[in-house]
Amino acid sequence: MPDSGRKSHRDYPWTGCGSDKDLAGCRFSLYPLDNRYAKIVLGALAKVDVSKIFSQTDALSTVYRGRLGQVFDCLSALFVHSYRENLHVCLEAQAMLGCPGDDDTDQPPPADDLIVNRKGLLGQDFLVKAKLALYPLGLADYLPIIAEAFDLAKNADLKPKIIHYATMIEGPVLKVFDYLQDVSAMAQGKVSHHALHFTVSVNSPTGK
Amino acid sequence: MPDSGRKSHRDYPWTGCGSDKDLAGCRFSLYPLDNRYAKIVLGALAKVDVSKIFSQTDALSTVYRGRLGQVFDCLSALFVHSYRENLHVCLEAQAMLGCPGDDDTDQPPPADDLIVNRKGLLGQDFLVKAKLALYPLGLADYLPIIAEAFDLAKNADLKPKIIHYATMIEGPVLKVFDYLQDVSAMAQGKVSHHALHFTVSVNSPTGK
């Protein structure tokens, strides 16, 4: 279809001005497949140092907002803190940058660049499987950006495999989260608004 | 950023020709928060009549491919068949139409329009909470399509509420799945490629 000129979010009163800010966000749900899921989720959330970001939990999910690196630092910490031997846990997450429909509420604390969780995660190198789907929005020629995300996974030795509607990867947990952050940073450099949906899974009984 | 002319998927050897077909797809994972999750998931998958679609399960998720109405018929049946009183179950799904990066493998059986699961679900009207994020791809002016999805939820009395990066809704389970199908059908009429990510949750201990 023809592309009409891109409007500003100000043309839509129902939208805010999130796209005016370099504010990364991630909405996610953690699913420990176990009767103790509530205790495991709340325990993992409590172990994450969220002093550098905004964090809010509702009935369906939790949202982190802040600088991209600090949001992914907290997200990777959350997943590592939920780890139990032989417990199948999945994280379903939606990372976003530059959404013109977002608003400027719920800002993180005054910014610095400190990554506060990673040092406590070093040595955590359990293997995970993951899948991702990247959506660069608002431009016609978006396929090359998706292709670059696939190439980044190859370069990171994460064994990317194209499946319908997504790319499957596998590797050490922190390397996988670092890659997902790199994909979002790459997309941020090429398009004003993108979403990155991903699933990270550990201890799945399905080996395939 | 400026929009360059949209390229055909044929400009990208790594992509297929999914966008040449009116083939809807949905990749999803079902999460019963219970020690018996594997039995519940496999039992629900087995109860769905998938004779009208293509279905394949891998280590992370299951993909359904076929006509939009038949894919959603199967997906809603899957969720209803996973229902247990007081059991918290979440479905995380990615519906897609017109992906130029898709290929034409894994086609459904020769098509007819029969909806084969719904009749067995009537009377199942338990309440669910859900969230959705719609991504119309390849065009600059995508916000009005997202706004229309929000209006469809208002018209369906699903109490839409904007949260960061998504819209939260609630209502009877079949009405919610019918709405999600309507959103995909609406987007299909306006853009050649879109993705619709959604979470459907029942019996969450978090009432908020």
Over residues B48-68, the pLDDT tens digits come to 999 999 999 999 999 999 999
User: What CATH number was assigned to the domain covering residues A20-100+114-201?
Assistant: 3.30.70.930
Q: By C-alpha distance, which of B32, B40, B39 is closest to B88?
A: B32
Q: Where are the beta strands (DSSP E) in chain A?
A: 24-32, 54-57, 62-66, 89-97, 127-137, 161-163, 166-172, 193-202
Tell if the CB–CB gap between A6 and B141 is shorter than 8 Å: yes
The residues, any chain, with a CB within 8 Å of residue A37's CB and separated by 6 or more, are: A31, B33, B88
Average pLDDT, chain A: 90
Q: What is the pLDDT of residue A21?
A: 63
For residue A13, what pLDDT band results from cuts at 50, 70 and 90?
very low
Asked whether the predicted pLDDT for residue A17 surpasses 60, the reply is no
State the DSSP H helix or E strand holding residue B95, giving kind and residue range, or none if neither.
strand B89-97
Q: How crowded is the C-beta side of B65, counted as CA atoms within 13 Å?
A: 24
* ipTM score of complex: 0.91
Q: What is the pLDDT of residue B4?
A: 40
Beta bridge partners of A29: A92
Q: By C-alpha distance, which of B13, B8, B1, B48 is closest to B28?
A: B48
Averaged pLDDT for residues A13-24 = 57
The residues, any chain, with a CB within 8 Å of residue A145's CB and separated by 6 or more, are: A134, A136, A186, A187, A190, A191, A194
pLDDT tens for B2-41 read: 334 434 444 443 444 444 468 999 999 999 999 999 999 9
| B201 vs A59: CA distance, rounded Å | 9
Q: What is the pLDDT of residue A33?
A: 98
Chosen from B58, B103, B164 to mutate, greatest number of chain A CBs within 10 A: B164
CA distance B162 to chain A (A): 9
Q: Are A93 and A184 in contact (CB under 8 A)?
A: no
Chosen from B143, B163, B206, B208 to mutate, greatest number of chain A CBs within 10 A: B143
pLDDT tens for A67-122 read: 999 999 999 999 999 999 999 999 999 999 998 888 888 999 887 889 999 999 99
For residue B172, what pLDDT band results from cuts at 50, 70 and 90?
very high
| A120 vs A115: CA distance, rounded Å | 11
pLDDT tens for A173-192 read: 999 999 999 999 999 999 99
Averaged pLDDT for residues B115-134 = 95
Global pTM reads: 0.92
| B49 vs B122: CA distance, rounded Å | 15
| B75 vs B7: CA distance, rounded Å | 33
Q: Are B180 and B172 in contact (CB under 8 A)?
A: no
Chain A hits for B7, Cβ within 8 Å: 141, 143
Q: Are B192 and A3 in contact (CB under 8 A)?
A: no
The closest CB to that of A60, out of B5, B131, B205, belongs to B131
Question: What percentage of chain A reaches a pLDDT higher than 90?
Answer: 78
Average pLDDT, chain B: 90
Q: What is the pLDDT of residue A3?
A: 37
Q: By C-alpha distance, which of A31, A191, A196, A168 is closest to A100?
A: A191
| A40 vs A56: CA distance, rounded Å | 17
State the DSSP H helix or E strand holding residue B181, giving kind and residue range, or none if neither.
helix B173-188
Asked whether the predicted pLDDT for residue A11 surpasses 80, the reply is no
From first CA to last CA, the distance across chain B in angstroms is 39
Chain B hits for A141, Cβ within 8 Å: 3-7
Q: By C-alpha distance, which of A27, A201, A33 is closest to B87?
A: A33
Tell if the CB–CB gap between B7 and A199 is shorter than 8 Å: no
Q: How many helices (H) and strands (E) does chain B have?
A: 4, 8
* Beta-carbon count within 10 A of B54 CB: 18
Chosen from A102, A141, A165, A204 to mutate, greatest number of chain B CBs within 10 A: A165
Q: Pick the residue with more confidence: B101 or B182?
A: B182
Tell if the CB–CB gap between B138 and A135 is shorter than 8 Å: no
Q: What is the pLDDT of residue A104?
A: 81
Averaged pLDDT for residues A7-22 = 47
State the DSSP H helix or E strand holding residue B128, giving kind and residue range, or none if neither.
strand B127-137
Starting at the edge strand found earlier in the chain, the sheet holding B62-66 runs B54-57, B62-66, B24-32, B89-97, B193-202, B127-137, B166-172, B161-163
For residue A22, what pLDDT band results from cuts at 50, 70 and 90?
confident
For residue A207, what pLDDT band results from cuts at 50, 70 and 90?
low
The tokens of A67 are what?
């600088």
Asked whether the predicted pLDDT for residue A197 surpasses 50, the reply is yes
Chain A hits for B136, Cβ within 8 Å: 137
Averaged pLDDT for residues B112-120 = 95
Tell if the CB–CB gap between A1 and B192 is shorter than 8 Å: yes
The closest CB to that of A143, out of B7, B35, B131, belongs to B7
Distance of CA A194 to the CA centre of its chain: 11
